[in-house]
Amino acid sequence: MSNSKADALYISWSPSGFVTAEASSFQAPITITEIKNYPVTTAGGDPFVALEHLRQSKKGYRKIALQVSSDEFLFATHEVDSLIKAKEPDYFPNVIKSEFVGIGDDIFYHVINSGDGAPYSPNGVTEKNFILSVVGNAYIESVQQRVTNHGLYPHRLESSTLATLGMLKQLSGEQPQPCIALEVFEDKSSLLIVPTEGPPVFRFIDTGIAQMCQQVQDALSLKDKASARKLLYSSTIDLSDIGDQVVQPLRKEIAATIGLYEVETGQSITRLFVTNMAAEQSWINRLLAEELGLNLFDIDHVFLMNDLGIQWQQGLEWNRDDPRMIPLFAMMQSE
């Protein structure tokens, strides 16, 4: 712990809102001076309104590092036939077109080594397994525009999925068992399976927040989904009595994916980590784990920060039960 001035701002954005960290720098060594949570219900129509007060000047822009949990980011793994092929300049552009059919040409893509997460370099190809990440340029531009409209300038924008993958692989060294990470979006969810060895597995399932809201609406006979959504995100309303019904569609899809993976690989998934839901929805995480027969991936925040070399100002407070802190801390490591 130490005392330090905040010059850098890290923001992690997910469907459940924002978590922000004021820190001493965008480069190591980093000292966190403040962590705040901005729930989705505080933002109104435009969620970035909640962050407008963080700009340093009404005339200028404040530089930020921005992390986004969104289903606009697509992922796949790829194994090359030979290391020589992977060095050809047009190899991965052609792979992208075949892996992501219909994605179009106006995209940004990123290729990293599956083993250590290092960016792909034609001159440094040493392994055959790679992770492909693709997102439309139109989406990137829309996010950048929304942020700059409120006086914030993202000098870096990244997906929380890759940050989470890196953290889970690093932490799994202490507990070498396959785990599954879940990101819940509006109409779908993303499943990331991190095995004990070999490349990860990325899957989308067609169940998300909207489907859970529908379950809340049906169970409580509410007039509209808007009321159900407020209850789902509430920090004061207890929905545990109808919890089984709320998570049932999600649980069934996850169970089917896990079952198929275990049959195909012979590896048993033992742990679940829900990465983008706020602490107020932790009952969903616990219920899903219980009904799937999994343990929640329990991460000691202080241990992780020490392991990453991140310091924090004396007296700093944050919710240790909020899983969104893990990709937030990972973003600081990757600066």
**pLDDT at residue 265 tops 70:** yes
The amino acid sitting at 300 is D
Domains of the chain are: 8-70+139-159+299-333 (3.30.420)
Q: Could you give the angle at the alpha carbon of 67 between the alpha carbons of 198 and 75, nearest 5°?
A: 35
CA distance 32 to 22: 6
Cα 118 from Cα 180, distance rounded (Å): 22
What was the pLDDT predicted at 7?
85
Q: What is the pLDDT of residues 291-303, one digit of tens each?
A: 999 999 888 888 8
pLDDT digits (tens, 9 = 90+) for 306-333: 888 899 999 999 988 899 999 999 999 8
Query: Across all residues in the chain, what is the average pLDDT?
Result: 89
The token pair at 112 is 């990293």
CA separation for the pair 249, 267 (Å, rounded): 24
Most confident among 32-41, 216-225, 228-237 (mean pLDDT): 216-225
Q: Which residues contact 53 (CB under 8 A, 6 or more apart)?
A: none
Tokens 């929805």 correspond to 281
Q: Are 67 and 155 in contact (CB under 8 A)?
A: no
Beta strand segments in 124-166, E:
129-136, 152-159
Residue 198 scores a pLDDT above 90:
no
Using the CB atoms, write b or e for 103-137: b if 16+ within 10 Å: eeeebebbbbbbbeeeebeeeebeebebbbbbbbe
Q: What is the pLDDT of residue 51?
A: 83
Predicted model pTM: 0.91
Give the span between the Cα atoms of 219 and 213, in whole angstroms.
10
Copy the structure tokens of residue 299.
């991460």
Beta strands at 189-194 and 201-205: parallel, antiparallel or unpaired: antiparallel
